[in-house]
Chain A
Amino acid sequence: MKYECLVCGWIYDPKVGDPDGDIAPGTAWADIPDDWVCPECGAGKDMFEAVSE
Chain B
Amino acid sequence: MTRVLIVGNGVAGVTAARFLADGDPSHEIVIYGQEPYLYYARPRLIDYIEGTVPETKMALYGEDWYAQRGIRCELGRRVERIDREEHTIQLDDGETDRYDQLVLATGADSWVPPIPGRELGCVHTLRTMDDARAIADCARGCDQVVVIGGGLLGLDTAAALACCGPKVTVIEALPWLLPRQLDRQGAHLLTDMLAAKGIETLVDQQCDRLEGVAGVERVVLKSGKILSAQMVVVSTGVRSNTCLARDAGLLVEQGVVVDAAMRSSDPDIYAVGDVAQFDGRVWAIIPVAIAQARVAAAQINGDRTKRYEPLVPSTTLQVSGIDLTSIGQVHPEGDELTVRKANSDQGRYTKLVIDKGRIIGAIVLGDRKMARDVSRLVSAKVDVGAHSDQLLDEGFAITSLLG
Residues of chain A touching chain B, judged by Cβ–Cβ distance below 8 Å, are 4, 6-9, 19-22, 35, 37, 39-43, 47
Contacts and interface: CB of A to CB of B under 8 A. Distances in A.
A19 B15 CA distance: 28
Contacts of B368: 20, 39
5 contacts: A7-B11, A7-B15, A8-B286, A9-B53, A35-B376
B370 to A, nearest CB: 9
Contact of B60 (A6, A35, A37, A39): A6
Closest 7 CB pairs of A and B: A20-B368, A20-B369, A20-B372, A8-B41, A42-B287, A21-B372, A8-B43
B375 interface: yes
Interface string B361-396: 000000011011001100110000000000000000
**DSSP class of A's interface residues: helix, strand, loop or mixed?**
loop
Contacts of A21: 372
Given A6-B61, A7-B11, A41 B287 contact: yes
A20 B325 CA distance: 13
B44 A8 contact: yes
Contacts of A42: 286-287, 314, 375
Given A4-B60, A6-B61, A9-B60, A41 B286 contact: yes
B399 interface: yes
B316 to A, nearest CB: 8
Given A42-B286, A47-B290, 20 more contacts: A6-B60, A7-B11, A7-B15, A7-B41, A7-B60, A7-B286, A8-B44, A9-B53, A9-B60, A20-B369, A20-B371, A20-B372, A21-B372, A22-B372, A35-B376, A40-B316, A41-B316, A42-B375, A43-B286, A43-B287
Contacts of B61: 6
Given A22-B399, A42-B314, A7 B290 contact: yes
A19 B368 CA distance: 10
A27 to B, nearest CB: 15
Contacts of A40: 43, 316
Contacts of A4: 60
A4 B53 CA distance: 15
A30 to B, nearest CB: 19
A47 B375 CA distance: 18
A40 to B, nearest CB: 8
B368 to A, nearest CB: 4
Contacts of B379: 35, 37
Contacts of A8: 41, 43-44, 286
A37 B371 CA distance: 12
A43 B143 CA distance: 38
B45 to A, nearest CB: 11
